[in-house]
Amino acid sequence: MSNASNIHLFVRVVEEGSFSAAARQLGQTPSSVSKQISQLEEELNARLFHRTTRKQSLTEAGEIYFQHARQIVTDVREAKLAVSNLTQAPSGSLYITAEPDLAQTYLVPILPEFLEKHPKVNIRISMSAARIDILEKGIDLAIRMGHLQDSSLIARKITMSQSVLCASPTYLKTNGTPKHPEDLANHNCLSFRTAPGKKEWNFTKEASEINVPIKGRVNVSSLVFLRTLLLEHIGIAMMPTWIIKDELKKKQLIPLLTDYPLNPPNTPITAIFANNRHLAPKVRVFIDFISEKLKDDF
């Protein structure tokens, strides 16, 4: 069997374009590189290079061998990285971007425990609802709500966020309680996000879809702010249950139209990262940590 170091050397020579270039990269002499390639050729009983005084080029056998040898070198590197990721303590700076509401509501309370468990990891968080190019910005991990567009990035679902239509008892006492989605036309329906265009809420009933255009006097881009407006008895809003769970428990907010399930019934919360075959330990442990912490709260 060919010596592994000779296989690696052969691939380096091909990639660098010459014996001398490979020798410089490896800190060897050209004659030493040439000798090792000759040993490999003897083992294979085949000439791998056409040698001239000016350059080296692959023979037909060399071309075939290179395709397989390059894969072997890649697999060995990947195997070492995979083992390293299992045994290496997570360390370094972890750059995260997350939607502000999610970061403030859920990341803040759990970060102290994560930092205590992983003392060699430093956290940098950018709170933004914008869809940032994480590769361009050098971001390790994005945490997003909503259904994602196809991309070259990897998405791992952390949990599912359920939403409910709700309002305060005071608002309902003053304005009445809607019994059917179409009754929402007579209410001040507060909207999350400020994007222009037609707004509607979608419901299902006995396999039929009900699409209701909504109108309201306030549109905001913060769920925390929207929760405050609800508690000020201004209107009705569609809210994720994780951000109003205390208010629901205390009956400060009342679920509405529960016989008409929202469509879609829930929204994924997803960890997004670059398309690497093996995650850096700092990224892997953080995703595992938040997945475990959040699974029972949504």
Kindly list the domain boundaries of the chain, sorted by start residue.
Answer: 4-87, 92-158+267-294, 162-266
- Is residue 54 pLDDT above 70, yes or no? no
**Mean pLDDT calculated for residue range 264-270:** 87
Instruction: For domain 4-87, give the CATH number.
Output: 1.10.10.10
**Sign of torsion, CA 39 45 48 52?**
positive
b (16+ CB within 10 A) / e for 200-215: ebebeeeeeebebebe
- Is residue 257 pLDDT above 90, yes or no? yes
Greater confidence, 265 or 169? Answer: 169
Cis peptide before 264 (omega within 30 of 0): yes
Q: Any idea of the CA torsion for 259, 260, 264, 270, to the nearest 10 degrees?
A: -40
Helix-helix angle 4-16:30-44, to 10 degrees: 120
> Which tens digits make up the pLDDT trace of 135-162?
778 889 999 887 766 566 788 888 888 9
Which amino acid, one-letter code, is at 273?
F
pLDDT band for position 277 (cuts 50, 70, 90): low
Written out in words, the top-level CATH class of the domain with range 92-158+267-294 is alpha beta
pLDDT band for position 1 (cuts 50, 70, 90): very low
Looking at 3.40.190.290, 3.30.390.50, 3.90.79.10, 3.90.550.10, the CATH number of the domain 162-266 comes to: 3.40.190.290
Domains 4-87 and 92-158+267-294 share a fold: no
Q: What is the pLDDT of residue 258?
A: 94
